[in-house]
Amino acid sequence: MADGKLHFHVPEPEVRPGGTPDFSAVPIPKAGSVPRPPIDVDPREIRDLAFSIIRVLNRTGEAVGPWAGLLSDEELLQGLRHMMTLRAFDARMQMAQRQGKTSFYMQHLGEEAVACAFRKALSPGDMNFPTYRQAGLLIADDYPMVTMMNQIYSNEADPLKGRQLPIMYSSKEHGFFSISGNLATQYIQAVGWAMASAISGDTKIAAGWIGDGSTAESDFHSALVFASTYKAPVILNVVNNQWAISTFQGIARGGSGTFAARGLGFGIPALRVDGNDYLAVHAVAKWAVARARANLGPTLIEYVTYRAGAHSTSDDPSAYRPKAESDAWPLGDPVIRLKNHLILRGAWSGERHEQAEAEILDTVIAAQKQAETHGTLHSGNKPSTRDMFEGVYETMPQHIRRQRQQAGV
Amino acid sequence: MPRRTMIEAIRDAMDVSMGLDERVVVFGEDVGFFGGVFRCTQGLQAKYGKTRCFDSPISESGIVGAAIGMAAYGLRPCVEVQFADYVYPAYDQIVSEAARLRYRSNGDFTCPLVVRMPTGGGIFGGQTHSQSPEALFTHVSGLKVVVPSNPHDAKGLLIAAIEDPDPVIFLEPKRLYNGPFDGHHDRPVTPWSKHELGEVPDGHFSTPLGKAATRRDGGALTVLAYGTMVYVAEAAVQETGIDADIIDLRTLLPLDLDAVVASVKKTGRCVVVHEATLTSGFGAELAALVQEHCFYHLEAPVARVAGWDTPYPHAQEWDYFPGPARVGRALVETMEA
């Protein structure tokens, strides 16, 4: 407009509730079309990879192109089982929250491939610094579901003694750093952990996790600066699920083409990958892991996915996006895509899938029943009030001891 | 026994710690090759190499955030924030992350981290090089907060802080780096080489966290002070001739309440002194504790002398700073009350 006045710009998503979902503006490259560079490639030569999408599974379910062929039938079946387990786990825990058995829950619907496939690219001893939507890291590492549920219920068997909001798990043994609940703070900690591993001459690497929305936090910037400066053996994961609660990804992304492109200014190789494609996620993660392990430094990976469910049990997406939007998402559903691929490979069938679904549901329900014998948030046994005062410091100082006495415990 | 400035004592503490424990790493802005703007890390990179002592980008949240990750890995980072006034970008990392990691993970992960930072005024540093933010940290459960007042304690407390299993905020009163400044800005400062607390043993020793020290034994009144204000209080006591107990708190969190209570019960009068702004300052906590624990022994209201509730000014530095005249007036008023 040429009226001489300045105009203030606020980005808007393409469609709001009531409108027809439209992802035609999201370019989806053909599966297999993006090259697989050597791990020691000069980042300047692969700038295109920050603007494309690495995909392995095509529309008919075949694995194609240079990123395909890394996983056996058995590994893929295991991956499918992990994603199905996570989905069943989510459904049960979502329901448990609705039944008043806990205060809060966050599900992964539509994003199961990201953490499940990534976990299988790591080695024992590596450390993830997850957000609240990477429980797939635990499921895929065979962390006991009962323990997860005990944490969700804040019951007497909760390993965190009822101190943390549901799903803020912690397991050093399973390479899962304690979730803060504050966003982005742990991205730079992942870099620091990786720096420490390099300082110590170790072989372990770290992985930081962040969502599209919280890349806007300054900790994202400091993480990229430190990772770039010290060539830290870290993988910087950005899960772009299109929505930060009610805020579409354009508010955090601004004028830059993609979140992956943020890495380019730091000289960090940056790749975009189809986050709903188990094989693509795993292949790209493997590539980044190999780089980190070989002292080639950090890699930034943007997983293009879609949050099919609500942000949390406290959120109602119908207030800010069309209800049918998730059905219109052009990258499909990660479970169905891997299922179809396995059927095409002759390693799976619709019948076996249904059978597996039933088995998994039984396993999850059995775990839930076991967890509930230890109590739920509002009934049964729970961590003691005395526990509340423990563990602030290694040794309890006098003032906390006095307060515990005042509390009568 | 060797005499050291506070800078040399702090450097020696890191040197000794790095020599004994290869998990100790030191970094921050200008900390590596140059040795820090106050020279506290001078020579450490040359001695221990770039992987143990290095320069960081200008990013306090990055310095502390990375250090938390390192501590969780199993190192013992001792990082420098160039001035306490610059710590605020790292505040979220300190409060939400370092302080709570042990608690929220039930000990699965811990954060043995030291964040060193020069604090306080008296150097014409204006509002961005003079602040005393200790109360912003004493309000946070999970942190320890230490303010040394002399080279001997600075070394012993810093070694204890580095060896502590929990995060420690280590505030170094920069006006004390070269001598026990007593607030008489128009007089030369005695160098540490001429002060008995400038005597700092070589090698490893530690001064326990959470223990106060009595700097002057007296029966008439208790002065609770820390950092620079210990010497301001000494000057005020000398100039007023009041026979005061002067307690140097040394660690604010956890506080040595026993020492505070014993002294106030003995004297029946208490003046709390700090350089930080008055309102919601650490003096408020001290005054409340004295009231709770010593009320029936008190002969007078607890007085507070602190920085005025304004940003730290430049030209008016000595009108702002709670010097010996202001402290002395409070001592006299408390004796007369």
Whether A222 sits inside 8 A of B57 (CB atoms) is yes
Separation between Cα atoms, residue B125 and residue B139, nearest integer Å? 26
Q: How many residues does chain B have?
A: 337
The C-alpha of A401 sits at a distance from chain B's nearest C-alpha, in angstroms, of 12
CATH architecture of the domain formed by B6-198: 3-Layer(aba) Sandwich (3.40)
Separation between Cα atoms, residue A236 and residue A350, nearest integer Å? 36
Q: A381 is written with which tokens?
A: 């046994």
Nearest CA in chain B to A164: B104
**CATH number assigned to the domain comprising residue A158:** 3.40.50.970
Whether A163 sits inside 8 A of B52 (CB atoms) is no
Whether A185 sits inside 8 A of B254 (CB atoms) is no
Whether A185 sits inside 8 A of B109 (CB atoms) is no
Q: Are A43 and A51 in contact (CB under 8 A)?
A: no
Q: Does residue A202 lie in a domain region?
A: yes
Q: Say how many CB pairs under 8 Å bridge A and B.
A: 142
The C-alpha of B105 sits at a distance from chain A's nearest C-alpha, in angstroms, of 6
The whole-number pLDDT of residue B265 equals: 98
Whether the CB of B76 is below 8 Å from some CB of chain A: the reply is: no
In this structure, the answer to whether residues A390 and A306 fall within a common structural domain is no
The C-alpha of A22 sits at a distance from chain B's nearest C-alpha, in angstroms, of 39
In this structure, the answer to whether residues A402 and A328 fall within a common structural domain is no
Alpha helices in A254-318 (DSSP H): 278-293
Q: Does residue A35 lie in a domain region?
A: no
Q: B171 is written with which tokens?
A: 């505030």
Whether the CB of B61 is below 8 Å from some CB of chain A: the reply is: yes
Separation between Cα atoms, residue B145 and residue B157, nearest integer Å? 11
| Run of H or E residues at A324 | none
Separation between Cα atoms, residue B283 and residue B289, nearest integer Å? 10
Q: How many CB atoms lie within 10 A of CB B251?
A: 24
Separation between Cα atoms, residue A70 and residue A75, nearest integer Å? 10
In this structure, the answer to whether residues A326 and A408 fall within a common structural domain is no
Q: Cis ω on the peptide bond leading into residue B208 (within 30° of 0)?
A: no
Q: Which residue has the tokens 């999408």?
A: A53
Whether B102 sits inside 8 A of A391 (CB atoms) is yes
The C-alpha of B62 sits at a distance from chain A's nearest C-alpha, in angstroms, of 5
Q: Does residue A13 lie in a domain region?
A: no
Q: Are A270 and A300 in contact (CB under 8 A)?
A: yes
Q: B24 is written with which tokens?
A: 């100790």
B192 Cβ contact list (under 8 Å, min separation 6): B3, B4, B5, B6, B150, B151, B178, B179, B180, B198
Beta bridge partners of B247: B214, B224
Where chain A has pLDDT below 50, the residues are: none
CATH 3.40.50.920 for domain B213-336, yes or no, is yes
Q: Does residue A80 lie in a domain region?
A: yes
Q: What is the DSSP letter of A213?
A: G
pLDDT bucket at B131, cuts 50 / 70 / 90: very high
How do beta strands B270-277 and B303-307 pair? Answer: parallel
In this structure, the answer to whether residues A330 and A390 fall within a common structural domain is no
Whether the CB of B168 is below 8 Å from some CB of chain A: the reply is: no
In this structure, the answer to whether residues A275 and A127 fall within a common structural domain is yes
Q: What are B253-267's pLDDT values in tens digits?
A: 999 999 999 999 999
In this structure, the answer to whether residues A392 and A304 fall within a common structural domain is no
Q: In terms of Cα–Cα distance, which of A53, A25, A33 is closest to A304?
A: A53
The domains spanning B6-198 and B213-336 adopt the same CATH topology: yes
Residues of B in Cβ contact (< 8 Å) with A182: 92, 96-97
Residues of B in Cβ contact (< 8 Å) with A214: none
Residues of B in Cβ contact (< 8 Å) with A159: 106, 108
Whether the CB of B186 is below 8 Å from some CB of chain A: the reply is: no
In this structure, the answer to whether residues A345 and A392 fall within a common structural domain is no
Backbone phi, psi, residue A85, to 5°: -65, -45
Q: Are A296 and A48 in contact (CB under 8 A)?
A: no
Q: Does residue A21 lie in a domain region?
A: no
- The closest CB to that of A393, out of B65, B166, B257, belongs to B166
How far is C-alpha A118 from the geometric centre of its chain's CA atoms?
9
Q: Are B65 and A223 in contact (CB under 8 A)?
A: yes
In this structure, the answer to whether residues A335 and A406 fall within a common structural domain is no
Q: Are A292 and A235 in contact (CB under 8 A)?
A: yes
Separation between Cα atoms, residue B53 and residue B35, nearest integer Å? 9
The C-alpha of A402 sits at a distance from chain B's nearest C-alpha, in angstroms, of 12
The domain of A392 spans 385-409
How far is C-alpha A312 from the geometric centre of its chain's CA atoms?
14
Q: Fill in the amino acid letter for A355.
A: Q
The whole-number pLDDT of residue A1 equals: 57
In this structure, the answer to whether residues A347 and A305 fall within a common structural domain is yes
Active-site residue B129, yes or no? Answer: yes
Q: Are A151 and A167 in contact (CB under 8 A)?
A: yes
Instruction: Provide the whole-model pTM.
Output: 0.97
Structural domains counted in chain A: 2
Q: In terms of Cα–Cα distance, which of B137, B155, B131, B134 is closest to B9?
A: B155
In this structure, the answer to whether residues A372 and A389 fall within a common structural domain is no
pLDDT bucket at B120, cuts 50 / 70 / 90: very high
The residue ranges of every structural domain in chain B are 6-198, 213-336
Residues of A in Cβ contact (< 8 Å) with B72: 177, 189, 192-193
In this structure, the answer to whether residues A304 and A389 fall within a common structural domain is no
Residues of B in Cβ contact (< 8 Å) with A186: 97
Does residue B108 register a pLDDT over 90? yes
